[in-house]
Chain A
């Protein structure tokens, strides 16, 4: 290869989190320490839910958070995104002016957007008097980028706007996309993260797929980070929450389980190397596949092999339920939540992903100093 690469770290200047623990990092921190107090039940559905734990986000009070205007045709997944976006933008300290917003974009990991909207429109084509009598207000929700489109519209964010659908590893793929986009000048700032909603369709899908361990709960949530070039933040004397250092991904679809584990191990090795971080400096690891058969052990094995010592784990899947594409983003949020408690040295955490589809990845996160 003809170019010598130096990674461009991204600074997280603000974050917006909506999870079964509630709104914000403080609620998340509490849940990470003590577990969810009483997990909220999803809203009753005539279709029913499968017999397994379901951990919904407690009542959001969407109207108070987002106002009442223009939400009639907006589905739940998009509302989660809009709430997280609001929290992230409000937490940014000074408000972004029109010019800053014009150079801000959105990169969001989600599997298919709102499965509920897709299923509703699909059912209409089968059960209505005429197959084309779908709800025209609902139809634009079917496209997977409905959520990022609404976030852009409601906040005048006019730079690159993208949805990354890469399964369990999608949030890490989104972070890589964000880093490249900012480095190449496609945006000055980005809201990057992941979102998934709890719905009968998604819950039954997980339940029947056989991918999850028996009592693994299914959750929902959105974590969004306002990011920009870390050097730009430093040189302007501003502060941030953390830095996203190297993020390495690989595809191991054809391999055996063992090869998938090896693939992740290599990602961890490369990510540490390209971040200039030694295994001994890692303070915490946050794994993704903790609710998944076999992969839970593979992931733990790969990280353990590379670090060569036991490192404290920040548990997300066990505490919030399965979050699929949003897992990686919530894992980053979990590190930030744990780092609310001050420490003398800036801490370093690893976020890993391992998906059914064969995607694996590792991101290095460093507390801001």
Chain B
């Protein structure tokens, strides 16, 4: 419990976004500021026969540009995205290659190496299980996401993949925060990765959760998600360690909250989400009226955004800070989603702006208290901000960041 144990301060010193709106922190920041859309027609699989054929694919991703140790041929796409994101975060933090040896990594994911699994499934359909290719099989375990990062950066610390679906990056950031705060490590890479795949496109369509082309969170006409992909990794560092090496500090991780609805596999729960926000605030030792910005889970489904907006009202009362969803730009990047949220929140604090909710046209009368920062980024002083992540299974995780002190 916060206050019962002595916790070291934890800061963010490196950012590594590999996204459909930009790769690397400079491109990603610029895209957030201009409200760029990363949604385009699907190319990673044959989308013939799917009613909706757009997704947030990272089409510019050339793994060999970023990876120095991993051979892309031997690793699945999700591991490549995670490793490239971590490589960018390490470079952004100014960490020399040999300074990472004691560091650990936590990568969150929804579907792990989904494209690898789909290759195996195709081999199985064509020739039975015996026809599966051993080289492809070696790439399939979900543990390979974190292992890919560790191999790329030469890490020898704690290396784990957390598969807690669409809040997985916040789980990863939270656990990494605990590891640094309790003194297990000075440096932890944390974030998430997922790849666009057929089964997600099919499954979300069947659940009625997909929209055709523009994802419009908090808009009256919102109709669902667009599937997306990417790798999002932050470097969390012990504050004293960062100071001693003269590192630039983007923001401080103040704390986080996690809980589980324990009611329904896919339907979100207002009271439980509100409880998670309170847990996060308590852990970070902040009051709701100190929070300047909420980087929403904001999937763009009618149910999620309504429930999230109501939970915000329940916790924040009369004074509700701006609430925007970067999923309007990226689509739903699944296990990477709250990692991108964490990066956007960190940049909002460090650079003084609110990322917009694009594609927004019409106020929803059911949630008039939400200011979604419509369409255009806004200059703002952001001292403390929260980053929401919710998931199938009722897994809620919310991280809280504050300005560097």
Seen from chain A, the residues whose Cβ lies within 8 Å of a Cβ on chain B are: 1-5, 47-48, 50, 105-106, 110-113, 118-119, 121-127, 130-136, 139-140, 142-146, 148-150, 152-153, 155-167, 170, 173, 176-177, 180-181, 183-186, 200-201, 204-205, 208-210, 249-254, 263, 355, 357-359
Identity of the chain A residue whose Cβ is nearest the Cβ of B144 in the assembled complex: A357
Query: Per a CB cutoff under 8 Å, which of A159, A183, A253 touches B259?
Result: A159
Q: How far is the CA of A358 from the CA of B157 in the complex (A)?
A: 11
Given A48-B128, A145-B391, A186-B258, is A3 in contact with B164 using a C-beta cutoff of 8 Å? no
B266 is an interface residue with CB less than 8 A from chain A: yes
Q: How far is the CA of A135 from the CA of B49 in the complex (A)?
A: 16
Within 8 A of A (CB), among B115-174: 117-118, 121-122, 124-125, 128-130, 132, 134, 137-138, 140-144, 146-147, 150-151, 154-165, 171
Identity of the chain A residue whose Cβ is nearest the Cβ of B163 in the assembled complex: A144
1/0 contact trace for B217-258 toward A, CB 8 Å? 000000000000000000000101000000000000000001
Q: Assess the A140–B266 pair: CB atoms within 8 A.
A: yes
Having A124-B202, A158-B272, A209-B137, one finds 11 other A-B pairs with CB under 8 Å, namely A1-B186, A3-B183, A106-B260, A131-B201, A133-B206, A139-B202, A160-B259, A180-B179, A251-B150, A254-B154, A358-B150
A-side contacts of B199, CB under 8 Å: 118, 121-122, 125, 134, 139, 142
Main SS class of interface, A = mixed
Within the complex, what minimum Cβ distance (angstroms) separates A64 from chain B?
24
B178 is an interface residue with CB less than 8 A from chain A: yes
Q: Assess the A118–B117 pair: CB atoms within 8 A.
A: yes
B66 is an interface residue with CB less than 8 A from chain A: no
Q: How far is the CA of A152 from the CA of B143 in the complex (A)?
A: 24
Q: How far is the CA of A165 from the CA of B5 in the complex (A)?
A: 28
B61 is an interface residue with CB less than 8 A from chain A: no
Query: Which one of B14-22, B373-381, B392-400 is at the A interface?
Result: B392-400
B-side contacts of A130, CB under 8 Å: 49-50
Q: How far is the CA of A250 from the CA of B259 in the complex (A)?
A: 28
The 9 closest A-B pairs by CB, nearest first: A149-B393, A185-B1, A3-B183, A144-B163, A122-B121, A204-B129, A139-B203, A165-B142, A161-B260
Given A134-B202, A251-B155, A253-B150, is A165 in contact with B143 using a C-beta cutoff of 8 Å? yes
B8 is an interface residue with CB less than 8 A from chain A: yes
Q: Assess the B156–A359 pair: CB atoms within 8 A.
A: no
B-side contacts of A158, CB under 8 Å: 259-262, 272
Q: Assess the A146–B265 pair: CB atoms within 8 A.
A: yes
Q: Assess the A357–B394 pair: CB atoms within 8 A.
A: no
1/0 contact trace for B70-100 toward A, CB 8 Å? 0000000000000000000000000000000
Q: Can you name 6 A-B pairs with beta carbons within 8 Å?
A: A112-B112, A125-B202, A126-B198, A149-B393, A253-B150, A254-B154
